[in-house]
Structure 1
């Protein structure tokens, strides 16, 4: 394998042009053509379902649009329609090649400024079309896997077109974000907290003896203290957790106030208290196991995350309304008797490497991309 790799030309490592996202590995080094995923997906690529969303969540461009540099003069529609290559009945135009290159990142675009590099990019598009046409010639456009994938891609594009028209960056208002922040203030303003474990007994004299032991070698480690809990504690609930009372803040009501006060009085993680009278007939010996500082996140700091959450929520709601409307207008019949006959293999699964790249169910809950709210135009 190593010897084969060394014979590949240097240009084999260049990025693929931007066909459908999952088809970019089709731009392959010469002279070797090696498909790294099911060839049936070529047909979907040939059908023109590309990636209409860039990774930053912005919409894709029309196939004949131009992304020109600041100094580039405008081009006429006739120029953009000029043919560059023809593969049987498929024509690759100047506008298409230009748009494909300009859709790349600035770093990638810089590699395709010379005529030779443009010819190289064009050649990769030709190879893409040749492979797609061969897949179609072999009837792979009717392959069940291709049909399912085609439906999935169509659904994704449908949902993008439907949701992008309704849910934009401006759909989430400052008032909505402020209301969410105020309603969930506990997520953004958190008091100081301490975590302690406790040995709880019902006799002060016993508590004194336990405290002496816990403040010695036996209680120095968390494991040692848990052993003491197991041996002495008379509170079954906390005993099952190794004495853990979890994190407490100064306003905690689930634990007696004297115990909370004593927990905060422990200066360092690992410190063990003396005897604490809970005032309810029980005595505690505490060990601090953790401490969290207070945290306050302002509305401005929380705003980006809140915007994204509300944006996702709105897209999810819009998707549900859209799908519910389609279902209401469709004639749907479910045969419950046959559904009950479906057999599911529940034996232990063995990973055979298949199915990892299968698309999710079309309407499996969360809406398609983008899952981050796009930036408002002109917003700092």
Structure 2
């Protein structure tokens, strides 16, 4: 742990000073001396007036009142001297050869190369209003809020050891419940007390059988059988009742509590987001092409057999295929 702390501390020192030493410090040859341009001499290197001015700009020098006091200048100079000394000691100790330091260094060089060779091209990429409008028209359905239904159920559980007579008795009970539901006040579109008395679904029986809002989408999964959700979306009027729905878990009576049809999203509400997506896609394509050109001019060989033989260093993922779907949230709708 102590060794790791030393490496990280040295890495922070090198990272903080690297840009300065590479771009803003003029390294002298021979024995340096103080002159009208050299502010300080530290062993075999110097800090020039230009070096100091550069650091002033980077450290708030453009703000009113900064570095008017000699003490502020002294503090900055002491910091720069210490950076020089620490960098020298770090290099002497071989810290710059540490694998972690080398990794950070390499990534910094790569980022700088990409900035010089690619970022200028990326800034030239633009997205027109016509492109945004065309993308919206081509993907309009994906931006619309899908239709959704709020349903209520009464569930009667069955088991494999039930006799046909017992199963028929459950069906008859649900048919009687359906007739009773028809007699409920027209403003009441759930099952009310009927659910508490007759339903085996404990999650909904005390809420009039209401199971919340379900979204019509192939990417949504709910805990209820597909036949139940399909039946709910087949009902068209609030308060409408289904026939008995048979599933391998039992029998369901389904009622439509409320319905909302697909709602179109206005273009102006998402235009900026679409523009940003198109821009990101164009920039990603430009970077891919940039890297492809570099690869095309390089000699690359891959040992496929060795690649295949490398064992993973982590365990295999658990098999969740037998796990039930996650419980819906937010009034019956999964996020």
* TM-score, normalised by the number of residues in structure 1: 0.52
Candidates 241, 258, 264, aligned match of 1:275: 241
Unaligned runs of 5+ in 2: 26-35, 157-167, 182-189, 211-219, 245-250, 317-335
The residue matched to 1:196 in structure 2 has which SS? strand
Candidates 306, 318, 328, aligned match of 2:286: 318
Of 337-346 and 320-329, the range deviating more from structure 2: 337-346
After the TM superposition, which residues 278-297 of structure 1 pair with which residues of structure 2 at under 5 Å, given as runs?
A: 284-286=253-255, 288=257, 294=263, 296-297=265-266
For 2:137 and 2:221, how far apart are their aligned partners in 1? 38
1:187 deviates by 4.4
Candidates 142, 155, 170, aligned match of 2:97: 142
Deviations 1:242-269 (A, max 9, x none): 368899xxxxxx667751x23xx3xxxx
Q: Give me the CA root mean square deviation.
A: 4.8
For 2:297 and 2:14, how far apart are their aligned partners in 1? 31
Does structure 1 conserve the Cα–Cα contact (< 8 Å) formed by 2:7 and 2:95? no
1:154 deviates by 1.0
The aligned residue for residue 114 of structure 1 is 68
* TM-score, normalised by the number of residues in structure 2: 0.58
Deviations 1:13-59 (A, max 9, x none): xxxxxxxxxxxxxxxxxxxxx97934145445544389xxxxxxxxx
Change (3 A) 1:88 1:343: farther
The aligned residue for residue 215 of structure 1 is 192
The aligned residue for residue 39 of structure 1 is 10
The residue matched to 2:254 in structure 1 has which SS? strand
Does structure 2 conserve the Cα–Cα contact (< 8 Å) formed by 1:194 and 1:290? yes
How many residue pairs get aligned? The number is 260
Deviations 1:45-100 (A, max 9, x none): 544389xxxxxxxxxxx859xxxxxxxxxxxxxxxx94443433444444444444
Candidates 295, 300, 305, aligned match of 1:327: 295
Candidates 267, 274, 299, aligned match of 1:298: 267
For 1:95 and 1:245, how far apart are their aligned partners in 2? 77
Is 2:81 the counterpart of 1:123?
no
Unaligned runs of 5+ in 1: 1-33, 51-61, 65-80, 230-237, 248-253, 266-272, 349-380
Does structure 2 conserve the Cα–Cα contact (< 8 Å) formed by 1:258 and 1:277? no
Candidates 161, 165, 176, aligned match of 2:116: 161
1:225 deviates by 4.0
